[in-house]
Amino acid sequence: MKCEIHGWMGAHVGVFKHPYHGVTGADGSVTLKDVPPGTYTLKVWHEKYGQKDVQVTLKDKGAESASAEFGD
């Protein structure tokens, strides 16, 4: 979305069929809670660098880490 009055204003909207999403903190990390066990594809998106897909498998009541790096 763009603002017709302020050229520097904009927004991005995502519509998903699930409740799992997040916005990164200042350090670039995000935590998704209460995700059921299974294998998932994380779609990590950056306004300038595009999208990366990261596979992650969650075990029963476990925690996993995944990472995606963007940059020039």
Are 1 and 11 in contact, with CB atoms under 8 Å apart? yes
What residue segments make up the domains of the chain, in order of their start?
A: 22-62
- Strand stretches in 1-67, DSSP E: 38-46, 50-58
Residue pointed to by tokens 């302020």: 6
Q: Per-residue pLDDT tens for 39-68? A: 999 988 888 899 999 999 998 877 788 899
Which residue from 21, 60, 17, 62 is spatially nearest to 43, judged by alpha carbons?
21
Token pair for 8: 């520097």
Residues 6+ away with beta carbon under 8 Å from 14: 21
Q: Per-residue pLDDT tens for 11-36? A: 888 888 989 888 889 998 889 888 99
